[in-house]
């Protein structure tokens, strides 16, 4: 069956050529075995992460040179949709050649931007943006395993949506990059606010330090000032 039949013609047109290419021909899909790691003299790291927002999961393999903490090989296995495969493939590629400390700075925004054909055009439809969030989380898991620490120790800032694991900086970047104007658009792009809805506005199930309505208002004000 053609992909246009699976996704719908209009939806499929919203994917970049890079995404569609990596759906069909992922460069880094596969695994690294313990035997291979021993032969190549590297430390094998295997990390798993599942995204509650869409039911997808990814397994990341790193082969790390312990003398300098550099990732000398990387593979992945994705258990999910085509967008998750493309995002995981790019995520693995971005890790290659970096140190573990450098790799843990890679965000889902970096992955999505690397998949764009045009810097000003999103690589995937808004409702599929959350697939790249797994990339950020599985990298943290891999780094935590390698360093023997808790993955939360790599959290660099406030998580606004605990359900979808979306950070404040990610929300700000997504709003600016895609010129989002409503909370509903933010939810479509990131899945923030799609579940318990506590992060949308005050009065929800859990009290938050900051809400999507506040973030949107502040970012839109910044954007207006920059015009």
Residues with a catalytic annotation lie at: 54, 131
SS3 8: coil
SS3 52: coil
Contact in structure between 198 and 208 (CB atoms under 8 Å) = yes
Q: What angle do CA 181, 192, 50 make, to 5 degrees?
A: 145
Q: Where are the alpha helices (DSSP H) in the chain?
A: 3-7, 9-12, 17-24, 34-40, 82-95, 100-103, 108-114, 133-147, 168-178, 183-190, 212-226
- Residue 144 has, within 13 A of its CA and on its CB side, a CA count of 16
Q: How far is CA 115 from CA 74, 87, 180, 204, in A?
A: 18, 8, 20, 35
What is the separation, in whole angstroms, between the first and last Cα of the chain?
46
Q: Can you tell me the distance from the alpha carbon of 227 to that of 201, in angstroms, rounded to the nearest whole number?
A: 27
């Amino acid at each position: 069956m053609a992909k246009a039949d699976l996704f719908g013609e209009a939806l499929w047109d919203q994917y970049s050529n890079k995404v569609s290419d990596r759906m069909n021909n992922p460069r880094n899909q596969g695994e690294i075995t313990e035997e291979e790691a021993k032969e190549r003299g590297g430390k094998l790291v295997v990390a798993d992460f599942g995204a509650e927002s869409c039911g997808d999961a990814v397994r990341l393999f790193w082969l790390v040179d312990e003398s300098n903490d550099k990732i000398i090989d990387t593979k992945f296995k994705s258990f999910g949709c085509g967008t998750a495969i493309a995002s995981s493939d790019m995520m693995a590629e971005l890790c290659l050649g970096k140190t573990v400390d450098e790799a843990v700075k890679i965000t889902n925004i970096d992955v999505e931007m690397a998949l764009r054909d045009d810097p000003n055009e999103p690589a995937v439809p808004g409702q599929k943006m959350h697939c790249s969030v797994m990339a950020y989380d599985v990298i943290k898991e891999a780094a935590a395993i390698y360093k023997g620490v808790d993955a939360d120790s790599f959290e660099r800032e406030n998580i606004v949506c605990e359900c979808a694991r979306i950070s404040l900086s990610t929300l700000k970047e997504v709003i600016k990059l895609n010129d989002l104007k409503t909370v509903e658009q933010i939810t479509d792009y990131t899945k923030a606010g799609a579940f318990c809805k506590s992060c949308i506005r005050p009065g929800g199930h859990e009290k938050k330090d900051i809400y999507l309505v506040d973030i949107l208002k502040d970012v839109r004000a910044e954007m207006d000032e920059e015009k």
